[in-house]
Amino acid sequence: MVTNPQYTPPVTRATLRLALILGAAAALVGLAVLVPAGYGTFALFGCVGIALGAINLGLAVQSVSRFATTRPSKARFSGSVLGRLAIVTVVAFLCALFFRPAGYAVFGGLAVFQLAAIVSSLLPLIKDVRQR
**pLDDT, tens digit, for every residue of 5-25?**
555 566 677 888 999 999 999
Which pLDDT value is given to residue 75? 81
Range of the domain at 122: 10-131
- Considering the domain boundaries, does residue 69 fall inside one? yes
Helix intervals (H) in the chain: 10-34, 40-70, 74-98, 105-131
Range in 5-19, 42-56, 85-99 the model is least confident about: 5-19
Cα–Cα distance, 40 to 37 (Å, whole number): 8
Q: What is the pLDDT of residue 2?
A: 47
The number of domains in the chain is 1
pLDDT value, residue 6: 59
Give the side-chain half-sphere CA count within 13 A for 16: 17
In a domain, 105, yes or no: yes
- Residue 50 falls inside a structural domain: yes
Q: Between residues 48 and 13, which one has the greater pLDDT?
A: 48
Residue 3 included in any domain = no
Q: Confirm whether 49 is domain-assigned.
A: yes
Q: Is residue 102 in a domain?
A: yes
Classify residue 41: in a domain, yes or no. yes
The DSSP code for 19 is: H
Nearest to 52 by CA among 92, 5, 100: 92
- Residue 19 included in any domain: yes
Read off the pLDDT of residues 105-123 as tens digits, 9 standing for 90 and up: 999 999 999 999 998 888 7
Over 50: is that where the pLDDT of 1 sits?
A: no
Mean pLDDT of the chain, nearest integer: 86
Higher pLDDT residue, 117 or 132?
117
pTM for this structure? 0.82
